[in-house]
Chain A
Amino acid sequence: MFRVAPLRPGRRLLAAATAMTTPLLPEDFLGLIDPLWSTTQLRGRVVARRRETDRAVSVTIEPGRDWDGHRAGQYVRVGIDVDGVRHWRSYSLSGPQDADHLTITVQAVPDGIVSQKLVRDLPIGTIVQLEQAQGDFVLPDAPSPLLMVTAGSGITPVMGMLRTLDAAGAVPDVVVVHSAPSAEDSIFAAELAAMAERRSGLRVITRHTGEQGRLDLAELDELVPDWRDRDAYVCGPSELLDAAGTHWAATPDRLRVERFTAPARSTGGSGGRVEYGDRAVDVEPGTSLLEAGEAAGVLMPSGCRMGICFGCVLPLRDGQVRDLRTGDVHGEPGDLVQTCISGASGTARLDTP
């Protein structure tokens, strides 16, 4: 969430100005005028929204000056406030590589906290938190013939690649096999068709799973007979990615995948193995992370030991914890948890101070 930027001349001035704003930073005051002026926290402003399908929108975001740009196929972590609480999610960049603004395309998942908000209620002008683009689901510098197998919102990183190639006027031999439940649900359908019209190297095969059923990768032999000679990029639901792993088992180097669904989380239960920094501790059901850590000799910060003083918070790295007061299981990587009132719920990892 925090980054250190090299000092530009304006920065030196700002650094000097901290004498006037201590213990805050100049940006905390300048932020009253424009929140994007922050140098410690990358932010962006929503400048446009475009409906793609009933369930999907593209959101264009003007990033702060520290945005380093992205490579086609990469994703960005976006922090969005929903009901006053900040949530971080990853979204692939669907816009071309050298655009000033960044564009993400989001498809609402049922009961999704962030995707529902992004798709239904994100007014122009909203300020969002950003991290720099990341991910290695990107094209090599000199692409050989390509095969893109995508499903649902999995088309987004591929769209970023195609738009980049299209803008550079150099679409090589690319076959896109995209699955969506129906024509109406198919994101970027019109744009893909128009691009295929314009660029002879691009072939788009669309699969409407509502009528034609799910794609079986064995069908590639028929749809794309030379699939073995292509670099493959696969993005979609877990089942598709798992199937791709099997299908390309003989030539794993030819396959790149991008996984959209979060890694499995602990599903409740009580107690579990918790790592405190580099020490692993078995936490009994009903024992707090603080007690268990202390019993194991970990140097734990603490205070009131009853959930009041926040003297015991540690950042969660992995997994989730159980609120011993309510029984609720909660936590996301980076959350600060009160160890004195949290128990284990499966495996988890905490950073120690």
Chain B
Amino acid sequence: MTATLDRPVIDTATVTDDVDRHPVRPSLQLVPSSRREDVEATTSLTPEQIEELGRRLDAIRDRVLAERGESDAAYIRKVISSQRALEIGGRALLFAGVLPPAWIAGTAMLSIAKIMENMEIGHNVMHGQWDWMRDPKIHSSTWEWDNVSLSAEWRNSHNYMHHTYTNVVGKDRDVGYGILRLSEEQKWNPYYLGNPVYNFLLSLFFQWGVALHDLEVEKVVQGQKPLSRVWEQVKSIGRKAAKQFTKDYVVFPALAGPFFLPVLAGNLTANLVRNVWSHAVIFCGHFPTGAVQFTEEQLEGETRGQWYVRQMLGSANLEGGTFFHLMTGQLSFQIEHHLFPDLPSNRYAEVAPEVRELCREYGLEYTTGSLGKQYLQVLRTINRLALPGGKR
């Protein structure tokens, strides 16, 4: 099912001026795009309201841009130096990894360091969130992240494909990563019976899933992309992966000499933890109940205001404390991130209450919940869509 973007449908009963009642959920009825006439008959945001909403969001953005400065720069530098210190500490402890407490602490520190590097640093730097500092070391065009996927490829598949075509089935390749069935719009076939299994494997090998997702192999099948280009990409991913692999599974274990195995096991675990965690956070950002999917025809002639609405409806937030937000790379503020993908990540928490209030005012769903709850919803969807006729 799909909501029509140009006319998000509001259940009149839930839209109220009473501030204490939160008419947030389930204020949005999902209406099949074929029933546009019905949509018009229902209370909906007028095009003027949508553009006004867009202007108010632009104002939030402009304000943060104007305020950006020293303290934001200090924030990212501190995150980067803490991440590096954690990584050194974790690897050092793992050298004493024959002692179980040292192994556990070392592995935990390394896992956290790897998560921070990919989420709060890599992802956000590559979005250009810190380009304004003009520090070539912290710049979207120079950053290479600690992950097998190449940052240059990822900037295209993520920053461009995913952020431009958020939740547009057939356009946004994050819907299913080319492997899973995550939308009813994806035609069922027997391959999808394995949906839960594929998802489990994807979560274990998520960094590989992301790297291979960048290849867009299905475009070769459709004749839109030459095989030679894929081969080039495979070679560069291979080169990078070899380095990553050598670091974690050869050099560091070898340096530990007789304690080769604990170090190897620690590094393997840390990579696994990072993969499972980032998979969980990312899937909870777009696929829990409440996050809306769109069709390609809804993209046509989309205005800035409509684009904003699509970003809000297609994303979902996670609730938690400061450390939790840091570990998600502030993707716990997925809605704010999708509205303002290039604002410094440390600002999302600050603008979130305003965005939420705007959603309330315009009667738009602001999907949010705990990681556990949202993850269960995602798993349920994946299980349901494994079967023909399954609903999200």
Contact = CB atoms under 8 A, between A and B. Distances in A.
Interface of A: 1-2, 19-24, 28-29, 32, 41, 81, 83-87, 303-304, 306-311, 313, 326, 335-336
A84 B70 contact: yes
Contacts of B251: 19-20
A260 to B, nearest CB: 22
A336 B139 contact: yes
A84 B144 CA distance: 22
B68 A310 contact: no
24 contacts: A1-B136, A19-B247, A21-B247, A23-B145, A23-B146, A29-B87, A32-B84, A41-B136, A81-B135, A83-B70, A84-B68, A85-B132, A86-B134, A303-B159, A304-B163, A307-B342, A308-B341, A308-B342, A310-B141, A311-B156, A311-B159, A311-B160, A313-B131, A313-B140
Interface residues of B, number: 44
A310 B145 contact: no
B373 interface: no
Interface string B320-342: 00000000000000000000011
B286 to A, nearest CB: 17
A22 B73 contact: no
Nearest to B58: A325
9 nearest interchain CB pairs?
A84-B73, A303-B160, A309-B159, A310-B128, A23-B144, A83-B69, A86-B134, A309-B160, A304-B164
Given A32-B85, A86-B135, A309-B164, A20 B159 contact: no
Interface string B351-381: 0000000000000000000000000000000
Contacts of A308: 159-160, 163-164, 341-342
Contacts of B252: 20
B46 interface: no
A87 B144 CA distance: 24
A331 to B, nearest CB: 11
Contacts of A307: 342
B244 interface: yes
Interface in B118-168: 127-128, 131-137, 139-141, 144-146, 155-156, 159-160, 163-164
A2 B139 CA distance: 14
B222 to A, nearest CB: 21
B243 A22 contact: yes
A106 to B, nearest CB: 20
B72 interface: yes
Nearest to B134: A86
Nearest to B147: A23
Nearest to B129: A310
B243 A84 contact: no
B98 interface: no
Nearest to A338: B128
A265 B262 CA distance: 61
B224 interface: no
Nearest to B340: A308
B106 to A, nearest CB: 15
A84 B141 contact: no
Interface string B95-133: 000000000000000000000000000000001100111
Contacts of A311: 155-156, 159-160
Contacts of A41: 136-137
A29 B163 contact: no
Which of A2, A23, A307 is packed against the most chain B CB atoms within 10 Å?
A23
Interface SS majority for chain A? loop
A304 B157 CA distance: 11
A123 to B, nearest CB: 13
A309 B243 contact: no
A326 B58 CA distance: 11
Nearest to B244: A22
Nearest to B70: A84
B163 A309 contact: yes
Nearest to B122: A23
A82 to B, nearest CB: 8
Contacts of B240: 23
A252 B333 CA distance: 65
Contacts of A22: 243-244, 246-247
Contacts of B164: 303-304, 306, 308-309
A23 B122 CA distance: 11
B273 to A, nearest CB: 20
A19 B156 CA distance: 27
B146 A335 contact: no
Contacts of B140: 310, 313
Which of B62, B87, B137 is packed against the most chain A CB atoms within 10 Å?
B137
Nearest to B132: A85
Nearest to A312: B160
Interface in B245-269: 246-247, 251-252, 255
A226 B155 CA distance: 66
A81 B133 contact: yes
Contact of B72 (A20, A84, A303): A84
A2 B137 CA distance: 11
Contact of B73 (A81, A304, A313, A335): A81
Interface string B61-82: 0100000111111100000010
B88 interface: yes
Contacts of B342: 307-308, 310
A20 B71 CA distance: 31
Contact of A29 (B88, B127, B141): B88
Given A84-B69, A84-B133, A309-B155, A28 B144 contact: no
Contacts of B73: 81, 84-85
A261 to B, nearest CB: 22
B247 A20 contact: yes
Contacts of A87: 134
A302 to B, nearest CB: 9
A19 B141 contact: no
Contacts of A309: 128, 155-156, 159-160, 163-164
A92 B58 CA distance: 43
Contact of B131 (A19, A20, A23, A336): A336
A28 B83 CA distance: 11
Contacts of B84: 28-29, 32
A21 B164 CA distance: 33
Contacts of A336: 131, 139, 141
